[in-house]
Structure 1
């Protein structure tokens, strides 16, 4: 019996479809706020470097800012372990309520921290603590939202339904990018660096309670409810996952490398790269990234639905092969063209490759694991991949350019990511339209 059928039996008054829509909305909206809160830091990198780190060397300050960005990623695996285990033991919904509340508080505090000129070394220390809590929260968010939607969906619509989680990611990126673009366009640079950069963080703090409300008003997934009813919940999901799912966890970890690098290199780091290396206007680079966000938003559900028809692996192959082959030419084109048109084209192509992967990611990664450890195994695998390959991408890219004096150096990192995920794609089993593993 499918998940949807079970839900309909439990709700004979026809509320099942309404509950499914509420589940999609709660995950998508929550993901919007989580991603907005997390990525806005990357878009504000230059202003944060000015506010929190000594300005003796602008490049060193920027490196310190990206290092602080990476701190959030280092705490993602810890959040994945703690919140993932909580979700596998006590429910997906309760875990997702925790993640969004924690993120809202940490984000709001970043917007309120006095700068280095006011409180000295305490400013970057508090910033690092807030980033740690953001990372901890996000570590449990992505896998939880993916698990939640996959467990609500019927097998024949699993790709389409779960893709709305990634649509939420696109909206979060879009909201963050557009907010940053408006601020850099309308505010003088002095005002932006003095106080304007704080506005997006305060907006994230205000919007967080909306996602919290939605998540407290949706039922637990029918799949997890059945697991509780049959007393199949394990006492130590992390221990069970590493004891029985090491192979699938390694595959999930490796598949996630490519989309992590594409996302953080082309959609978060590239605006700063274009400003620092190509001397393009900040507002122009952010409006370009807004366009890429629109492509991401509208293409993702189509890719998810397509995967329900043709399978997940063909789309994964398009993404990883395209990344391995086009990574260097894309950077070369951007550097040689040296214009907003080149940036638009490069980000559009990279976003297409990203969407072919991320549009099926929630489904293909969730289908690898059984219900009893799905939240933990998925969250830990994905968080480790993001922490290692995504979180350090801006830092590595900036450091590579500085060490080699070659503005094309980040392209080699992108190519390597595509090649690594290509190997994992060969190993993953196609499970589109099949029942979830119990």
Structure 2
């Protein structure tokens, strides 16, 4: 492996300040990612009106919402398809091309959802069209997120890979914040009847516009230096990249899947699903629930940056270890307070949001696990398959557990995944670094 294909994240590495070009690349990548991720997650913030509008009125409310979560989950099940295909061409043809294609594929179905007819207009065709649009969204996001992490990691100077990956992750979480703020504003300013009649369409129509803005922004980005060097030296994988991943890097795939499990739990349960759970399980009013979620989403953006800074100083393995333990403590603190009336909810939820920022460490763990010629394919396969398995089942599972097992069930689920991530970090700390790592 040549030096051109090898980067370093060790905390002992020499650290160069980010240049103006570095800042431009990270900013454009993060902003484009924020707009695209908004498109993908805004669906869950409007799960309740969607469950009412896209299924028969005779369907029990809990079943309609369960079916809506099933459509939400379909987006996760479609992720591996988009991720594997785009990663293949990303390793063979270039990171930038797939980076731009993915955001275009996201904009179209998001705009279409805002224009879809509802059940009263076209019957069973309504949920089928919604499902189709969600699948296309899943294909797009499957290529976007892994490709974005690889893109910024390979652009980052030595000793700045942790912050680069975390800044992109922070950008993605800004998309969640935009979705949360949009939902908060709509639910606060518009009567429920208006939201149900036409207001729910607005965030999807805005998302379609955001997506095309992101496509335009990415035309200013350049191919990564690592890929350019590999292409010039004819080091690109001549075999099917995924075949090499599965034959030679199975351990890296497994470890990446395990840390992705924590990422899915932290984001889905504590950020995306919690506003609805707060209303159903802890009887918080809608405005308070969404206000707290907006605070938490903003804190999450800052937390990702803080953890990225930490990675470049103590290493991604130690940052993952301590960050996972802190997430466990913060999760039980919030749910314990909620179980006792939620007196400190608006303080503890933002604190927990900041601690969820440990997800900003995870992309560095994964990009360091695979050598450059198959990095996009390896990361994409591990991340998307894990997200398909855990992401597709989490919403339904947590909703079921919260109804039947108890109000602390979501906290227990997140804690289990964080404990597994802690064990992965401990294993990596005693495992020697490989030459191929970033």
Tell me if TM exceeds 0.5: yes
SS for the counterpart of 1:216 is: helix
Per-residue deviation at 1:22? 3.2
Which residue does the alignment assign to 1:166? Answer: 169
Structure 1 stretch displaced more, 69-78 or 231-240: 231-240
Report how far residue 148 of structure 1 moved: 0.5
Give the aligned partner of residue 398 of structure 1: 399
Selected match of 2:93 from 90, 93, 109: 90
In structure 2, the partner of 1:176 is: 179
Equivalent residue runs for 1:90-169 within 5 Å: 90-169=93-172
Corresponding residue for residue 83 of structure 2: 80
Within 5 A, what are the aligned runs for 1:39-438? Answer: 39-55=41-57, 56-234=59-237, 235-324=239-328, 327-338=331-342, 342-355=344-357, 357-404=358-405, 406-428=406-428, 437=437
Say what the alpha-carbon RMSD is for the aligned residues. Answer: 2.4
Alpha-carbon distance in 1 for matches of 2:332, 2:83: 33
Contact 2:6 2:437 in 1 (8 A): no
Gaps of 5+ in 1: 6-15
Cα deviation for residue 327 of structure 1 reads 4.1
Q: Is the 8 A contact 1:3 1:152 kept in 2?
A: no
Q: Aligned partners of 2:156, 2:393: CA distance in 1, in Å?
A: 34
Deviation at 1:385, TM superposition (A): 2.1
Matches of 2:432 and 2:142, distance apart in 1:
26
Q: Matches of 1:361 and 1:326 in 2, distance apart?
A: 18
**1:422–1:4: structure 2 CA closer, same or farther, 3 Å change rule?**
closer
Q: Does the 8 Å contact 2:99/2:148 carry over to 1?
A: yes
Tell me the residue number matched to 2:10.
none
- 207-216 or 322-331: which moved more? 322-331
Can you give the 5+ residue segments of structure 2 that lack an aligned partner in the other structure?
8-17
Q: Is the 8 A contact 1:92 1:221 kept in 2?
A: yes
Does the 8 A contact of 1:84 with 1:379 survive in 2? Answer: yes
Number of residue pairs aligned between Structure 1 and Structure 2: 424
Q: Residue 11 of structure 1 corresponds to which residue in structure 2?
A: none
Kindly indicate whether the alpha-carbon contact (under 8 Å) linking 1:253 and 1:381 is maintained by their aligned counterparts in 2.
yes
Offset, 1:318: 2.0
* Kept after mapping to 1: 8 A contact 2:4/2:226: no
Distance 1:437 1:401, change over 3 A: closer
TM-fit CA distance, 1:297: 1.7
* Superposed displacement of residue 151, structure 1: 0.4
1:371-390 superposed Cα distances (whole Å, 9 cap, x missing partner)? 01111111111112222223
**Within 1, Cα distance between the matches of 2:292 and 2:166?**
23
Indicate if the aligned counterparts of 1:308 and 1:432 stay in contact, CA closer than 8 A.
no
C-alpha distance in structure 1 between counterparts of 2:92 and 2:268, whole Å: 32
C-alpha displacement at 1:428, in angstroms?
Answer: 2.5
Q: How far apart, CA to CA, are the structure 1 residues paired with 2:347 and 2:396?
A: 24
1:33 maps to 2:35: yes
Deviations 1:79-113 (A, max 9, x none): 11111111111111000111000000011111111
